[in-house]
Amino acid sequence: MTVTTDVSYGEAGGTPLLLDLYQRDTDGPADDERAAIVLIHGGGWFRGDKAKEPPLAAALVEAGYLVAVPDYREAPQHTFPASRDDVLTAYRWLLASEQRFDRGRVAFFGGSAGGNLSVEAGLATGRPAVSWSGIFDFAAIVAATDGTIAEPTQQDLDAMKSADINQTGPDDAFLRFTVLQEVGGDRSLLASASTTGHATAAAGPVYLANSLNEFVPVRDPQAMQQALSAVGVASTLQLVPGTHHAEGYTAAAIGQTLAFLADVLAPAPAG
């Protein structure tokens, strides 16, 4: 596998925007036929970076994809929609780049905050999206935790692998903190930033996964699926037993996720 790090895909407000590219070592005409994945890191919109994604990126390359992993501006300095805007900028950069892949076959994939951004990007572009433990109905989450003081996690998110973060089950205080970070603490922005309100019939198909007793309550991906269904967009929701969050349940979700991607990114029939 060949990894090219810190590729510039633009800048926003003076902030350089960088991504990493992962692809197979060999280069040939077959690359023109492969699909591409924009893989979006998590971290609650306020922490995390692209350097945490090599294991999942490698699995996607092994499955035949070109993989782009962007960094993006983070809260609370940069609130919604800055992170979504940057992911879309990375997507447009990839389409305009000299990389060899089929421009008609691109999908988004992310976990936790990255899962939210994956679905946001899919809604904006009509491309397929995969979300593992994405967070979507901001207004409902904050309303449901109004009796809880928002508090940051005690975990060292910078030092930990993505698959080790938030694996101990519900944590309403940190979930509330995370959502409020993305809107800069301004509750009046929760409704407009909630992904459930952005569903559109032009969206691509969506794959959602969530653990039954994890950091993100099951009612949240269910609300996202209901919003998609209401506008006629196909979606799948995989519910995983236990408390694992996002890449913590990779072993349980990767098979069905790859099957979904193979289906929605299949080449158009000849002729």
**Element spanning 269, H or E:** none
The reported pLDDT for the residue numbered 215 is: 93
Per-residue pLDDT at 29: 81
pTM: 0.96
* Burial grade of 91 (CB within 10 A; 0-12, 13-18, 19 or more): buried
Give the residue among 121, 63, 24, 34 at the shortest CA–CA distance from 259. 63
CA distance 183 to 138: 9
Burial (CB count within 10 angstroms: exposed 0-12, middle 13-18, buried 19+), residue 15: middle
Interatomic CA distance for residues 164 and 187, integer angstroms:
30
Residue 44's nearest CA partner among 182, 156, 173, 172 is: 182
Q: The tokens of 160 are what? A: 């930990």
Q: Provide DSSP, 41-96.
A: --STTTS--GGG-HHHHHHHHHTT-EEEEE----TTTS-TTHHHHHHHHHHHHHHH
Report how far apart, in Å, the C-alpha atoms of 35 and of each of 110, 147, 194 are. 17, 46, 29
Q: What φ, ψ does residue 69 adopt, rounded to 5°?
A: -120, 100
Q: What are phi and psi of 54, to 5 degrees?
A: -55, -40
In sign, the C-alpha dihedral spanning 234, 238, 243, 246 is negative
Cα gap 42→185, rounded to integer Å: 19
Tell me what pLDDT residue 153 has.
74
Distance CA 68, CA 181 (A): 26
> In tens digits, what is the pLDDT along the chain, a chain of 271 residues?
999 999 999 999 889 999 999 999 877 788 999 999 999 999 889 988 999 999 999 999 999 999 999 999 999 999 999 999 999 999 999 999 999 999 999 999 999 999 999 999 999 999 999 999 999 999 999 999 998 998 887 666 666 666 777 778 999 999 999 999 999 999 999 999 999 999 999 999 999 999 999 999 999 999 999 999 999 999 999 999 999 999 999 999 999 999 999 999 998 776 6
